[in-house]
Structure 1
Amino acid sequence: MNIRAALVAGLLAISGCTTTGLGNTKVGSAAGALAGRITGDDGGSGKVAAAIIAEMNGGLVGGQIGAGMDERDRRIALEAEYRALEHTQSGQPVTWKSDRSGLYGTVVAAQPYRVGSQDCRQYSHTVFASGQSRNARGTACRNADGSWTPLT
């Protein structure tokens, strides 16, 4: 593991423990282990990142706000959703931009809360295209492996 991947894994492990204030080190460690993979430090395979993104079941961009996005743009947007949910403080925006299509967006997650044994967060995603914005709101809950599943 290179130094960058170790640093990201360590930071995510810590944030996984403190994001909800519940001290769940098992979930924090799982999220930390996945961190390098979602950021592209998994040796280039991208298989785990693809699995995490698949667990998000399309996220908010799987709906109307993602209409017209190609697969690459959708993945960039979903990765931003994951970063916002997994390790960004409440109210702090996570931005993304496609160099190819010119699409860009912002994801903002709210304060985490507990539902049963799962940590959940409400979040919003705004996509900007051709001077127009589209916004969607939703809720996602964290799975034991560190992935997030949107509630329907």
Structure 2
Amino acid sequence: MKVFKGLAIGLLAVSLVGCQEGAGPKQNIGTVGGAVLGGLAGSTIGGGTGRLWATGAGVLLGGLIGSEIGKSLDRADRQYMSDRTQYALESAPSGQAVEWRNPDSGHYGSVTPQKAYQDNGSYCREYTQTVNIGGKTERAYGTACRQPDGSWQIVNQ
């Protein structure tokens, strides 16, 4: 019976932590992995019903921490892409692809800027962007315009 209660608490905690809208696969893996490790750590504390509560709390806290770690890895992919996009818009010749790759996740892509033009006094460039995640390639088109501070801001995608 005690084992059943512990499993029920653990499953409830994982289901609550796992209900994150818009979470990516790395964030979901981090959530589940953290919940499992947290549950194992919590199960070593106390005895009787105290152990059950410690296990449930460990699952919940581990899931939350694992989720944040997984989310930061997704941010790393976006940072690689953002850095190379800024470089491409600033320095790459029209039609030349600038590639990016996150060595930790294996995700990669490219940004191909087009010729700069003026729009209401601002310099803008259209671009094509590809992203490959898990063997699936997606393509997007957008426009970015230079800001007064010299950075490029995406104005539509």
TM-score w.r.t. length of structure 1: 0.54
Partner residue, 2:123: 119
Q: What secondary structure is seen at the aligned counterpart in 2 of 1:144?
A: coil
Residue number among 85, 88, 91 corresponding to 2:92 in the alignment: 88
Partner residue, 2:151: 147
How big is the shift at 1:80?
A: 0.9
Residue number among 73, 78, 82 corresponding to 2:77 in the alignment: 73
* 1:102 equivalent in alignment to 2:106: yes
Residue number among 115, 126, 133 corresponding to 2:137 in the alignment: 133
Unaligned runs of 5+ in 2: 1-23, 26-72
Q: What secondary structure is seen at the aligned counterpart in 1 of 2:93?
A: coil
- Which whole-Å deviations, capped at 9, do the CAs of 1:96-119 have from their partners, x for residues lacking one? 101110100010000000001100
2-structure distance, mates of 1:100, 1:128: 14
Unaligned runs of 5+ in 1: 1-66
Q: How many residues align?
A: 87
2-structure distance, mates of 1:127, 1:87: 20
The code of the aligned residue for 1:115 comes to: D
Larger fraction in helix: 2
* Larger RCO: 1 or 2 (CA < 8 Å, sep 6+): 1
Structure with the greater alpha carbon radius of gyration? 2
How big is the shift at 1:147?
A: 0.7
2-structure distance, mates of 1:143, 1:151: 11
How big is the shift at 1:88?
A: 0.6
CA root-mean-square deviation: 1.7
The code of the aligned residue for 1:91 comes to: G
Partner residue, 2:61: none
How big is the shift at 1:83?
A: 0.7
Q: What secondary structure is seen at the aligned counterpart in 2 of 1:70?
A: helix
The code of the aligned residue for 1:117 comes to: G
- Deviant stretches of 4+, over 3 Å: none
1-structure distance, mates of 2:95, 2:112: 6
TM-score w.r.t. length of structure 2: 0.52
